Chains A and B, each alone.
Chain A
Amino acid sequence: MSAVDVHTLSGAYALHALPEDERTAFERHLTGCSPCAQETRELAAVAARLGLALSVTPPPGLKAAVMARIGTVRQENPRTAPLRRTAARSLPGRAAALSHWVAAACLVAAAGLGGAALWQHQEAERAQDRARAASVRLDRLAEVLGAPDARTHRASLPGGAGGTVVVSRERDGAVFAADGMARPPAGKVYQLWYDDAGTMRPAGLLDPERSTEAVLMAGPVDGAKGMGVTVEPAGGSPRPTSAPLMAIAFG
């Protein structure tokens, strides 16, 4: 294939319309042709605009499912530049004096880097601890969401807020995700309940800071017929003290 021919493939490439072999060949060509790479980036951006015009409203359960999945997926590490090592050398006279300054400057730089590296290391450890604790919770959450018998039930409130609950009788668990709920008033908290044929059983509190996250409802589903959300004093209540904001039947 001539260079001119290869060049005209930028359109087909940006549209993912090349068969595998030609795609690989074109990518090889791109590495040596920066105007082609620029053009290809632009045409890919145009293709994305074609996609943007297709926006549809995702079904309510999709967000909970994706949020649960990302909780179990480890992110790729960022690519970092390797630290350079400075070779120590003995130098005569003025060069040696100068080298002291250089060495001192290097030490300061190294201290800075060492601090940053230690901080990064501690951050990473903390993140790992958080991730480990979260992953235990999320394993159970993913288990419920992924159960073959999982059923999604949804309720909408006037004003656009709502909630989605995914119930698996087989795994005896339920996952709830609120959607567009206002922060609870100061000193109050949203509490979840299982509805055992009219008797409300506590099923955990929603963290007001992370109100968009899907949460695993505390306790087994057992024979619950539905779930509800109430506003309770901070810390929660053994029994609802207010009418439910939202009630979702598992029917």
Chain B
Amino acid sequence: MPEAVHIGRNPSTGPDLEELMSLVARGDQQAFATLYDAVSGPVLGVARSVLRDPAQSEEVAQEVLTEAWRTATRYRPDRGTVMNWVLTLAHRRAVDRVRSAHAAAARDEKAARLGHTPAFDQVQEEVETRLEREQVRRCLRTLTELQRESLTLAYYRGLTYREVADMLSTPLGTVKTRLRDGLIRLRDCLGVSV
């Protein structure tokens, strides 16, 4: 049985990204190129998970990264890490795209989507990413099935909690609370603090 791996520092809170971001906010393109290397993989991963279509995902990734450059001065270190900030932008943008485009078609696709597991394949084989993935997987396993399914459908597929409730044939109120207590349990397992 593999040992639980302790990661010295939380991979999403590396100090260098915050420092880079202050240079980016002053228009430093070289610093942005370095920031790109750190965040583009996760940004594209989030977009692909929600959108599925590779071309659309790349478009969204481009938009998100350009947005990060344009609004760099809005980033506030006291509100969370750079990675959080960029991935929140990415998820939000991907979800907006999927909701506007799929408003009608999504109804038919729902059944197909339910069959998918999160896109943990196709990952770059970097040690840090692998450890991160292991940790998230391990923590997802500590959730109840309903918590895990609700979280997965909402985050990895970009569904609203009403759609999640619909798909899992579960009352709205239950899904709402499962999304919250599932995230709280993950927070404690991952040791996330802001």
Q: Do A and B bind each other?
A: yes
Q: Which residues of A contact B (CB under 8 A)?
A: 8-12, 14-19, 38, 41-59, 62-63, 65-67, 69-71, 73-79, 127, 131, 210, 212-213
**Can you report 14 A-B residue pairs in the complex whose CB atoms are below 8 A from each other?**
A8-B177, A9-B176, A11-B178, A12-B161, A46-B186, A47-B91, A47-B183, A58-B61, A62-B62, A63-B33, A63-B37, A66-B65, A67-B32, A210-B29
Contacting pair B193 A54 (CB below 8 A): no
B176 partner residues in chain A, CB cutoff 8 A: 8-9, 11-12
Residue of A nearest to B157 (CB): A17
In the bound complex, how far is the Cα of B183 from the Cα of A16, in angstroms? Answer: 13
Residue of A nearest to B92 (CB): A16
A63 partner residues in chain B, CB cutoff 8 A: 33, 36-37, 40
Name the distance in Å between B79's Cβ and chain A's nearest Cβ.
Answer: 6
Q: How large is the interface on B (under 10, 10 to 19, 20 to 34, 35 or more residues)?
A: 35 or more
B113 partner residues in chain A, CB cutoff 8 A: none
Residue of A nearest to B147 (CB): A11
Contacting pair A45 B80 (CB below 8 A): yes
Selected from B40, B122, B159, B177, the residue in CB contact (under 8 A) with A17 is B159
Selected from A16, A38, A57, the residue in CB contact (under 8 A) with B91 is A16
Supposing A17-B164, A56-B44, A73-B66 touch, asked if A11 and B181 sit within 8 A by C-beta, the answer is yes
Q: Is the interface of A mostly helix, strand, loop or mixed?
A: helix
In the bound complex, how far is the Cα of B72 from the Cα of A8, in angstroms? Answer: 31
Supposing A44-B80, A51-B87, A54-B120 touch, asked if A17 and B179 sit within 8 A by C-beta, the answer is yes
Selected from A8, A58, A74, the residue in CB contact (under 8 A) with B70 is A74
Contacting pair B66 A11 (CB below 8 A): no
Name the distance in Å between B78's Cβ and chain A's nearest Cβ.
Answer: 10
In the bound complex, how far is the Cα of B193 from the Cα of A232, in angstroms? Answer: 52
In the bound complex, how far is the Cα of B167 from the Cα of A48, in angstroms? Answer: 24
Contacting pair A17 B69 (CB below 8 A): no
Contacting pair B70 A15 (CB below 8 A): no
Selected from B25, B45, B71, the residue in CB contact (under 8 A) with A54 is B45
Selected from B137, B156, B187, the residue in CB contact (under 8 A) with A42 is B187
Contacting pair B155 A70 (CB below 8 A): no
In the bound complex, how far is the Cα of B122 from the Cα of A79, in angstroms? Answer: 40
Name the distance in Å between B140's Cβ and chain A's nearest Cβ.
Answer: 8
Contacting pair B42 A55 (CB below 8 A): yes
